[in-house]
């Protein structure tokens, strides 16, 4: 009788629909929920591929050249491409990769940009990239377990000292001093030339063929040669004999002595300063040193987790400095930021995983200081229906981590196939040495002087050939050949007297015949 009453009560409750309200569906066994999963895309149609939002960033995801015939997911390669394929193969679902332009940051209280905004707005089912798990993002989307740990570091060039100009030898004096020195050189050259012409002691008398001739050693070319030799501390074998020319020569020598002393001292100071900067390395050893100076600008991505991290009160001073810079120090992509770093005078806050990838391949780049924080990358999914897949993603990530698949995948894409050997040992031995580019200006002057000398020598030979051809009626080309033959092989000089003798010998030869 009692069992019958219980049975009737059960029928009444079921008829009224109360039995569903008394059962807690959340306590159903988990295997039932997994059996009911259908891995549908955001369209809700069974069999449709999932839309995976991602972002192009070496080496996580890269795009093949457009000349290739690949389409769809085959266009992309990298860590994320391989990792997503592993997830799809393990959980048996199809997907489409759709690169986004940014990682995602809050626009206002309800709207987000980038990959996070696409997941929230149902434009994508999941976001798989080097997407950092943060508290603000986790408040609007769900994340899987971290599949890679990372942090924020500082990327700079190894040599932060500015490269010396090829014209560094002109640096000891400013342009006004060089101009004044040149004017002094020209002025005193004219002075010695004029005084030498008026000073009787600088004239000499020579007797050639019975005719007395007076000559003066301070002609224009000799005077310039004498002044230049004195400036360089060389003996030109020209001696001023007159009192006035000697006094002016001594004045020029004293000027050259003090000018050379000041030039040498200033040039040495400039070179020593450059060597100190190179020898002792960058003065920036961490974020504190970066904040304490103003010559090196620093920035980060215009949006993203790194930008949000630096805006916290702890780094408010640094972030305020970045916001006040003009032009802006914020960049739209890591590629843009790395290009600015390579140009010098700029430091970039970025994910340490990307820093490791760049440093492995570029000997000029270097990570400064340690990590500013520790974080992880996870798969983002919409809260609610899509979160049902989180246990499956977590399980695959744990298995991939335990089996070493993630470590192998990271080595594949982060370490270069052929290790880049940075010549650190040679750099240590030559640290502070002047490079060839620093002597560019000196060698330019040397080559210009050699070229000018060759040109003047050719013009002298051409003028001599022209003079002889006018006197003797020959051609310039014939005289040039005779001059060149004499200059190379020596012998009798091709002058007018020798040509007359040659013509007389030819006349006698014709008479004998």
Known binding-site residue numbers: 132, 137, 305-306, 351
| Enclosing H/E stretch for 52 | strand 50-55
For residue 349, what is the enclosing H or E element?
strand 346-351
In the numeric block, which tokens belong to residue 432?
Answer: 């502070």
Phi (first) and psi of residue 404, to 5 degrees: 85, 5
Cβ(127)–Cβ(116) below 8 Å = yes
Return binding residues for L-glutamate: 132, 137, 305-306, 351
**CA–CA gap between residue 123 and residue 335 (Å, rounded):** 26
**In degrees, to the nearest 5, what angle opens at C-alpha 479 toward C-alphas 475 and 485?**
150
Please give the backbone phi and psi of residue 323, each rounded to the nearest 5 degrees, phi first.
-70, -30
Residues 6+ apart with CB under 8 A from 3: none
Q: What is the largest CA-CA distance in the chain?
A: 170
What's the CA gap between 485 and 491, in Å, rounded?
9
Tokens encoding 212: 């007395």
CB 230 within 8 A of CB 256: yes
The C-alpha angle 409, 410, 414, rounded to 5 degrees, equals 125
List the one residue out of 226, 218, 225 whose CA is nearest residue 202: 218
Which residue(s) pair with 358 in the sheet?
none
What are 241's two structure tokens? 């004999």
- DSSP secondary structure letter of residue 56: -
Q: How far apart are CA 43 and CA 500, in angstroms?
A: 109
Question: 141 and 71 in contact (C-beta within 8 Å)?
Answer: no
Tokens standing for residue 274: 């450059």
Helix (H, G, I), strand (E, B) or coil at 131: coil
Distance between CA atoms of 352 and 132, rounded to whole angstroms?
A: 12
């Amino acid at each position: 009788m009692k069992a019958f009453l219980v049975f009737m009560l059960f029928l009444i409750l079921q008829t009224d629909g109360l039995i569903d309200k008394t059962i807690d569906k959340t306590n159903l066994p988990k295997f039932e929920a997994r059996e009911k999963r259908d891995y549908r895309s955001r369209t809700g149609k069974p069999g449709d591929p999932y839309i995976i939002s991602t972002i192009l960033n070496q080496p996580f995801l890269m795009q093949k050249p457009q000349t290739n015939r690949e389409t769809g997911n085959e266009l992309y390669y990298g860590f994320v491409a391989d990792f997503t394929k592993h997830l799809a193969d393990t959980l048996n679902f199809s997907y489409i990769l759709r690169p986004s332009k940014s990682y995602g940051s809050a626009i206002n209280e309800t709207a987000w940009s980038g990959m996070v905004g696409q997941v929230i707005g149902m434009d994508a089912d999941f976001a798989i990239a080097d997407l950092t798990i943060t508290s603000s993002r986790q408040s609007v989307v769900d994340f899987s377990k971290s599949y890679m740990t990372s942090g924020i570091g500082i990327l700079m060039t190894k040599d932060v000292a500015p490269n010396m100009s090829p014209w560094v030898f002109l640096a000891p004096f400013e342009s006004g001093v060089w101009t004044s020195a040149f004017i002094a050189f020209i002025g005193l050259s004219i002075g010695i030339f004029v005084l030498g012409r008026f000073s009787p002691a600088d004239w000499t008398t020579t007797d050639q063929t019975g005719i007395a001739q007076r000559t003066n050693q301070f002609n224009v070319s000799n005077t310039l040669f004498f002044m230049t030799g004195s400036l360089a501390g060389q003996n030109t074998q020209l001696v001023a004999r007159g009192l006035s020319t000697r006094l002016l020569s001594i004045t020029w020598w004293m000027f050259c002595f003090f000018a050379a002393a000041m030039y040498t001292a200033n040039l040495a100071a400039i070179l020593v300063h450059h060597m100190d900067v190179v020898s002792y390395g960058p003065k920036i050893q961490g974020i504190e040193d970066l904040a304490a100076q103003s010559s090196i600008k620093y920035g980060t991505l215009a949006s993203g987790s790194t930008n949000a991290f630096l805006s916290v009160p702890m780094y408010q001073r640094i972030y305020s400095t970045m916001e006040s810079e003009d032009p802006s120090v914020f960049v739209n992509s890591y590629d843009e930021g790395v290009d600015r770093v390579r140009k010098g005078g700029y430091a970039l806050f970025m994910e340490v995983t990307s820093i490791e990838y760049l440093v492995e391949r570029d000997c000029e780049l270097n990570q400064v200081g340690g990590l500013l924080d520790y974080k992880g990358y996870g798969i983002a999914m919409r809260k609610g229906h899509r979160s049902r897949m989180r246990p499956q993603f977590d399980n695959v990530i744990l298995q991939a981590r335990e089996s070493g698949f993630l470590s192998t995948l990271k080595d594949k894409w982060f370490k270069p196939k052929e290790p880049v050997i940075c010549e650190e040992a040679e750099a240590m031995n030559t640290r502070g040495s002047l490079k060839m580019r620093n002597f560019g200006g000196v060698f330019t002057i040397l080559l210009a002087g050699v070229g000018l000398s060759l040109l003047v020598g050719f013009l002298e030979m051409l003028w001599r050939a022209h003079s002889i051809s006018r006197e003797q009626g020959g051609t310039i080309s014939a005289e040039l050949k005779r001059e060149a033959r004499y200059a190379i092989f020596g012998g009798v000089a091709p002058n007018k007297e020798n040509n007359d003798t040659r013509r007389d010998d030819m006349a006698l030869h014709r008479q004998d015949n």
